[in-house]
Amino acid sequence: MELCVNDQLLPLQWLKQIWINLVKSVITRVGKAGADMNENEVGQLSEVEAKNSLKETKGDVEEAVKISIAKRCKLVSKFACFSYNNKFNPF
């Protein structure tokens, strides 16, 4: 609601015009950060994940990107052990 007031838009207008762009920005930035890694440990962020990160940071895109990357890296490393040919496999 704070962001909505700062932009001087009605809540519904803000959701349609600004929120969706913030979500897309988080998805794009996380994807770019993953692509810039030696091995992409992030993958493609979903819209739900981006929205959750933005909610968690109260709309702070940079913090949402950092949180999303950290969560995704943790998730990938957790599930990578199930693959036979990966760097996390101890066998």
Q: What is the pLDDT of residues 19-55, one digit of tens each?
A: 999 999 999 999 999 999 888 888 889 999 999 999 9
Q: What is the pLDDT of residues 57-85, one digit of tens each?
A: 999 999 999 999 999 988 888 877 776 55
Q: Is residue 65 part of a domain?
A: yes
Q: Is residue 2 part of a domain?
A: no
Q: Is residue 91 part of a domain?
A: no
Q: Is residue 47 part of a domain?
A: yes
Q: Is residue 29 part of a domain?
A: yes
Model pLDDT, residue 86: 54
Instruction: Domain of residue 49: give its range.
Output: 14-78
Our count of domains for the chain comes to 1
Nearest-angstrom CA–CA distance, 18 and 84: 43
Q: What Å distances lie between residue 77 and 5, 14, 61, 81, CA to CA?
A: 40, 36, 24, 7
Q: Is residue 50 part of a domain?
A: yes
- CATH number of the domain that 18 lies in? 1.10.8
Residue 40 CB-density burial (10 A; 0-12 exposed, 13-18 middle, 19+ buried): middle
Q: Is residue 5 part of a domain?
A: no
pTM for this predicted structure: 0.77
